[in-house]
Chains A and B, each alone.
Chain A
Amino acid sequence: MFLYRARRTVKLGIKSLWNHRLRSTLTALGIIFGVSSVIAMLAIGEGASRTAQEQIARLGSLNIIIKTVKPSEEQSATGQQQSLQEYGLTYKDAERFRNNISNVQVIVPVRRTGQQVWYRNRKISAEVVGTVPWHLETAPVHLEMGRFLAGSDMDYKQDICIVDERIVDELFRFDDPIDQYVKIASDYYLVVGIVSNIPVTSSSAPEENTNGTKMQSGANAGNIYIPLTTVKDRFGEMTVQLNGQSGANIEKVELQEVIVKVSSIDEVLPTRDIIDTILSRFHKKNDYQIIVPLELLRQARRTQAIFSIVLGSIAAISLLVGGIGIMNIMLATVSERTREIGIRRALGARKRDIIFQFLSETLILTFAGGILGIVLGSAIPYFVTYFGKMPTVITGSSLLLSFGISGAVGIAFGLYPAYRAANMDPIESLRHE
């Protein structure tokens, strides 16, 4: 009985909306744009959030990355024309981590240096990464061909290297790099393996890139991995910068990076504190930085949640404006149809019948607007991704949310006009011209 009435009321509503097609369409547009902007905004927010989280996740959530940073100038020796600056992480630090932290899985000391790399007559600049055989455990790199570093390479300071796919693409082009020699600085190295970067598709990927925070591809030409011991021998620990009049500036840095990987997520933060304590005891200068991807990840999630709320709220305001538009039109409709309301009341319509009649019209408008808004709102992120090269993610919850909000808007802004219609005096409304 109720369903039957509801069905006929809806039919009646559609009919009277159809009688005012233009007006209905314009009114629904408010909701369409409101809903679609909520969806689009949330999709863009979610896309940005996922990207940020992916980038952080690439660092590895089980990893703690300690990086060398150059201390500020005031702390260095002053007044000297030619200065030797010694700072940064040392082999001793890595040693201390190994001795003092119980739950550590691996410790990877890394020394990196930018070098010119030659193959035949081609030259590119690449990052030479001096590292250890277990480097792969902390980095999202995958051995494609050949082998990675071995313990004996370290012991004998072998002149071998492993190149990543970017080096292969730019330096070797169509040649097979394995067993070829490349010239780095003034020495020749035998290529023994090729690695590729594993694309991280979701934030759950546990591995990470040793490049630390500058892991965006294309930032440098590529990585060449050689044994840490070889790097130390060939390139030393000094960098000399000639800066005009003031002469040479010599810096001595042992390690650019130490990556500590712990065995479970719960140990990440306590271990970070231990590392900080150890380092602060031995480093008088503020020459290191501890990066905890897990913490960054959590922070990024919080930030993105706020971002999404802000974007969503802005869009929700447009939905609100759409709702006000609907209310406006419904009030106009009600006063325009005063006489019809009077007739219906005289012919036996109860107040609630009138309420249902007008509320159903509003709800039909908002639901139709909501559905079209979802269609449009799902299309917008697609174009944003296609033309704006921005990642977007439409989540089911954002669809439900916006649809729910549009329904709520329909009820909220439809009730008052319907209520007003129902409470008009039937005698007065019958007299209304």
Chain B
Amino acid sequence: MIQHQSNRLDFSTDSEILIFEKLCKHYWLGQVELKVLRDIDLTVKKGDYLAIMGPSGSGKSTLLNVIGCLDRPTYGKYLLGGQDVSLLDDNQLSLIRGQHIGFVFQSFNLIAQLNIIENIEVPMFYQGLSEHASAARAKELAEMVGLGDRIKHRPSELSGGQQQRVAIARSLANDPLIILADEPTGNLDSQSGADILGILDRLHEQGKTLIVITHDEDIAKHARREIRLLDGQIQKEVRKG
């Protein structure tokens, strides 16, 4: 089943970056099988801006974990950039995560002991980028999110909005296929939240593919597509613009 896997992925504009085919995720809670995701079919193209919405318990987080290659589907197929990742082992998944997924978390998840530059460098380190190249790229990204003057600061010395901007810079480090944001404004005041959404919009304009998981309607408004999840199934999909 496992085909020859190459890390070089070639795709043109509008190509399908992410394909879910009848994807299921089941958990075993003792004797009870919990079907968290049921027969999800989903396609995301390059440049998409997708919002996944749903009440808690709808399977949003599980979907996020599967998309982010942190978890493997129980059944079904997951093609990321043309590569079937549902069959990869932990090592290969780790590399795929570092290479093709840019995570933005609700609680920022910066490493407290590292300064801004070092935090942005983390994904590049695991891809084996040279120290010099990764430092240069990290500086560039920090400037892009408007924190070029604070690169030596620790996360604790920054405001929440600034921290999330660092996290976005970090997610862009390896130029991933997908930027996966989980409630990116959930811990922020409205002004900072608006800033972050502005940055995400800008990234979308630059042609990045974004998937945002949220239950905030305002955030969903920014997205081109909206998927509503209920009880582990796609309830409805809304396309805009």
| Chain A residues proximal to chain B, CB less than 8 Å | 1, 4-5, 8, 15-16, 19, 339-340, 342-353, 426-427, 430
Contact = CB atoms under 8 A, between A and B. Distances in A.
A342 B70 CA distance: 10
Given A15-B113, A430-B105, A347 B128 contact: no
Contacts of B126: 344, 347-350, 353
Contacts of A430: 70, 105, 109
A353 B95 CA distance: 11
Contacts of A352: 91
A278 B158 CA distance: 97
Contacts of A348: 94-95, 97-99, 123, 126-127, 174
27 contacts: A1-B128, A4-B128, A19-B113, A340-B112, A343-B110, A343-B111, A344-B111, A346-B68, A346-B70, A346-B97, A346-B103, A347-B98, A347-B103, A347-B126, A347-B170, A348-B97, A348-B123, A348-B174, A350-B91, A350-B94, A350-B95, A353-B94, A353-B126, A426-B70, A427-B65, A430-B70, A430-B109
A345 B65 CA distance: 12
Contacts of B70: 345-346, 426-427, 430
A1 B129 CA distance: 9
Interface in B114-162: 122-123, 125-128, 130-131
Nearest to B126: A348
B99 to A, nearest CB: 7
B41 interface: no
A343 B95 contact: no
Contacts, number: 67
Interface string B2-16: 000000000000000
Contacts of B103: 346-347
A1 B170 CA distance: 23
B97 A347 contact: yes
Interface of B: 65, 68, 70-71, 90-91, 94-95, 97-99, 103, 105, 109-113, 122-123, 125-128, 130-131, 170, 174
Contacts of B123: 347-348
B127 A8 contact: no
Contacts of B111: 340, 343-344
A348 B174 CA distance: 10
Contacts of B125: 8
Contacts of A4: 128, 130-131
Interface centre among A16, A346, A347, A353 (most CB of B within 10 A): A347
Contacts of A350: 90-91, 94-95, 126
A348 B112 CA distance: 18
Closest 9 CB pairs of A and B: A348-B98, A348-B126, A350-B94, A347-B123, A343-B109, A349-B126, A350-B91, A348-B97, A347-B122
Interface centre among B71, B125, B131 (most CB of A within 10 A): B125
B94 A345 contact: yes
Given A340-B111, A344-B122, A352-B91, 8 more contacts: A19-B113, A340-B113, A345-B94, A347-B122, A348-B126, A350-B126, A353-B126, A426-B70
Contacts of B71: 427
A138 B110 CA distance: 81
Contacts of A339: 109
Given A15-B113, A16-B113, A426-B70, A351 B97 contact: no
Contacts of A15: 113
A16 B128 CA distance: 20
Contacts of A340: 111-113
A224 to B, nearest CB: 79
A349 B124 CA distance: 10
Nearest to A348: B98
A340 B119 CA distance: 11
A343 B112 CA distance: 11
A352 B122 CA distance: 15
A352 B91 CA distance: 8
A351 B95 CA distance: 11
A347 B127 CA distance: 10
A350 to B, nearest CB: 4
Given A346-B70, A346-B97, A347-B103, A8 B131 contact: yes
A339 B90 CA distance: 19
A283 to B, nearest CB: 83
Nearest to A350: B94
Nearest to A349: B126
A344 B97 CA distance: 10
Interface centre among A16, A339, A351, A426 (most CB of B within 10 A): A426
Contacts of A8: 125, 131
